[in-house]
């Protein structure tokens, strides 16, 4: 059963549904199945979904001002548009045992995405920034599962999750250069609540976090939890606001590493859900580069 406040948008049974972002250009939800190598665009009313296959595992995408999408594929940053997928840059640490995970654009139009090891080796990942000229810069090395990103409305703070830390950290953010500094913890999440994964922010500054292995999305304001949304699946992966009024919270999920018995108990694992929590999110930023 699905909680009264949660509805199913589309149930494709994605192995690792992730990275939802609302695309105002087409009025659809864009999201990925990382291991299925698919970028999906979904009509939030009908659930009708179109899919694009990617050459490699796809960690995240964002709308591109010049058309199409910028994507973090397994080995680096790519452009996905009307023509063949084309690589912008390969990250220096690219290797078979590593892949990109979550990503998002900042208010200045740069695309950020981080890596992780397939075997989740501690400290094997990094967080990168893709500038408008297509140059990738290593911003934060030594992370394990690079995950959720969000920026405050004034653009002065960047929020970030490295999942195994169990925290949401904040950085001072320089919008002009894209530099970050003064890392500190703003939210600590109990292990019993789950593992922090994808992240978004609402107009009031509330941080909404998908808690994998916790079956919930939780809102934190000034470091304190003040809202919990329960899902009928345990592997809740990411969240974003969308819809014409940006008042719908879209939630992705997965069944990666689940046994046959566990999947039978959670038939909606891998579906996309929506809720209307009574607050609005910020418009999704787009990539203003190559």
pLDDT tens digits, the chain, 290 residues: what are they? Answer: 455 589 999 999 999 999 999 999 999 999 999 999 999 999 999 999 999 999 999 999 999 999 999 999 999 999 999 888 999 998 877 677 999 999 999 999 999 999 999 999 999 999 999 999 999 999 999 999 999 999 999 999 999 999 999 999 999 999 999 999 999 999 999 999 999 999 999 999 999 999 999 999 999 999 999 999 999 999 999 999 999 999 999 999 999 999 999 999 999 999 999 999 999 999 999 999 99
Quick one: CA torsion of 19, 15, 278, 41, rounded to 10 degrees? 60
- DSSP H or E segment with residue 263: helix 260-265
Residue 91: closest CA among 130, 120, 118, 140:
130
Three-class SS of residue 165?
helix
CA distance 165 to 22: 28
CA distance 252 to 9: 10
The residue assigned the tokens 């899919």 is 51
The residues facing 130 across adjacent strands are: 111, 136
| 169 close to 159: Cβ distance less than 8 angstroms | yes
| 48 close to 36: Cβ distance less than 8 angstroms | no
In sequence order, what are the residues at sequence separation of 6 or more whose Cβ sits closer than 8 angstroms to the Cβ of residue 150? 104, 158, 159, 199, 200, 201, 207
Residue of 162, 197, 202, 285 marked active site: 197
CA distance 68 to 22: 14
In the prediction, which pLDDT does 83 show?
82
CA-derived radius of gyration, the chain: 17
In the residue annotation, 24 being an active-site residue is answered as no
């Amino acid at each position: 059963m699905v909680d009264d406040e949660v509805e199913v948008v589309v149930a494709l049974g994605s192995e690792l549904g992730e990275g939802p972002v609302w695309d105002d250009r087409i009025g659809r939800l864009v999201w990925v199945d990382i291991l299925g190598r698919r970028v999906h665009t979904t009509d939030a009313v009908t659930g009708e979904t179109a899919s694009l296959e990617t050459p490699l595992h796809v960690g995240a995408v964002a709308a591109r001002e010049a058309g199409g999408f910028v994507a973090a594929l397994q080995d680096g940053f790519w452009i996905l548009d009307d023509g063949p997928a084309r690589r912008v840059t390969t990250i220096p640490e690219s290797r078979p045992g590593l892949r990109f995970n979550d990503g998002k654009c900042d208010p200045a139009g740069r695309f950020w995405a981080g890596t992780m090891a397939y075997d989740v080796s501690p400290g094997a990942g990094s967080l990168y920034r893709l500038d408008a000229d297509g140059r990738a810069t290593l911003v934060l090395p030594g992370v394990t599962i690079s995950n959720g990103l969000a920026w405050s409305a004034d653009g002065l703070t960047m929020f970030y999750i490295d999942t195994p830390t169990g925290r949401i950290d904040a950085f001072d953010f320089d919008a002009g250069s894209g530099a970050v500094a003064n890392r500190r913890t703003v939210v600590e999440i109990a292990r019993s609540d789950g593992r922090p994964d994808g992240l978004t922010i609402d107009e009031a500054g509330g941080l909404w976090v998908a808690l994998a292995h916790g079956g919930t999305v939780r809102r934190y304001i000034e470091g304190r939890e003040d809202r919990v949304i329960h899902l009928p699946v345990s592997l809740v992966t990411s969240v974003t606001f969308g819809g014409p009024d940006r008042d719908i919270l879209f939630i992705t999920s997965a069944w990666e590493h689940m046994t046959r018995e566990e999947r039978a108990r959670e038939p909606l694992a891998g579906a996309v859900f929506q809720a209307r929590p009574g607050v609005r999110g910020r418009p999704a930023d787009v990539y203003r580069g190559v």
